[in-house]
Amino acid sequence: MTMLFPSDLEEACEMLAASDGKAVPLAGGTDLLVHWPQRFEDHGRTFLDLSQLAELRAIRWSDSALILGGGVTYWQTLGDRAVCDAFPLLEKAGRQVGAVQIQARGTWAGNIVNASPAADGVPVLMAYDAVVELVSTQGEEEIPLSEFYLGYKQMRRRPNQLVRAVRLPRRRHDVEVFEKIGPRRAQAITKLGFAATHSAAGWRVVANSMAPTVCRCRTLEGMLEHGSPIRRPEDLMPAIRQDVSPIDDIRSTAQYRQKVFSRTLFHALFSDEK
């Protein structure tokens, strides 16, 4: 049971490589440290603390993208007007991740690599076509977030890689929607949620807690692209059944998830009255 304190990202990569990918990168700790005293299997591990690496905490802009460093917290983005104005869903989702205490520690990148199907930060990033920038002693790699997950808790990040940044292309969006449906209004784990955007790049509809991974709903996107007539929430159901496979679990039921997905999506995108 020990901790490694790298002084910069390069050293962090070296430490991770030296551990043969066994060290556990730790940023905000809002997932990894839940019930810490009972996590016996984790107590023997080596943790690589990323929470103090200044270069990961940077929010930068390029001509074509917003670049969130791998250690940027929700709270940082909530306090950054330029980010909230350009990517309003980051504010909307960020405010719904836990409450202030979690927002202050939790990071966007951590949410991605925790690989939970219920991740609240991932749908909006994916709906903005985010690209994950990974780095290791072996070099750099970029993976579109929509191709990042392979299955339940499975992802394309290799154990020796760290998230250097998450890059969001700057686009003009005429639709930006995010819904989180949880058991209560604040500080709750999502029963189902989605983000949807439309830009010159087309439609993006991303669902969480509806499948083994956060995922794009390509059939729904296709319907929207083709302008298929949607008059009632039920008209979305065939596509939803194709795109996602919700389950019954401790937090909700498959039936509720599907039905409410169709209804909230319908009202968000098609209802005249808003």
39 φ/ψ angles, rounded to the nearest 5 degrees: -90, 65
The Cα–Cα gap between 245 and 92 comes to 25
Where is 198: in which H helix or E strand?
strand 192-199
Q: Smallest distance, Å, CB 73 to other proteins?
A: 9
- Note the residues at the interface with other proteins (CB under 8 A): 1-3, 5, 26, 28-30, 33-38, 40, 43-44, 46-47, 49, 51-52, 75, 78, 91, 95, 98-102, 104-105, 181, 183-189, 191, 250-253, 255-256, 259-260, 263-264, 267, 271, 273
CB of 252 to other proteins, least distance (A): 6
Nearer to other proteins, 41 or 63 (CB): 41
**Token pair for 234:** 């039920």
CB nearer to other proteins: give 88 or 222: 88
Closest separation in Å from C-beta 221 to other proteins:
21
Residues in the chain: 274
Nearer to other proteins, 167 or 180 (CB): 180
User: Between the CA atoms of 165, 171, 177 and 180, what dihedral angle is there, to the nearest 10 degrees?
Assistant: 0
102 vs 175 by CB, closer to other proteins = 102
Q: What is the CA radius of gyration of the chain?
A: 19
Q: How far is CA 74 from CA 37, 252, 262, in A?
A: 26, 26, 28
Please give the Cα distance from 175 to 183 (Å, whole number).
26
Other Cβ atoms closer than 10 A to 52: 12
Closest distance of CB 139 from other proteins, Å: 27
- The residue type of 89 is L
Return the number of the residue (72 or 145) whose C-beta is nearest other proteins.
72
Minimum distance from residue 169 beta carbon to other proteins (Å): 25
- Nearest distance from residue 109's CB to other proteins, in Å? 16
The nearer residue to other proteins, 78 or 145, going by C-beta atoms, is 78
Alpha helices by DSSP H, listed for the chain, are 9-18, 40-43, 74-78, 81-86, 88-95, 100-103, 108-114, 122-127, 218-226, 237-243, 254-269
Nearest distance from C-beta of residue 10 to other proteins, angstroms:
20
Measured from the CB atom, the residue of 37 and 227 that comes closer to other proteins is 37
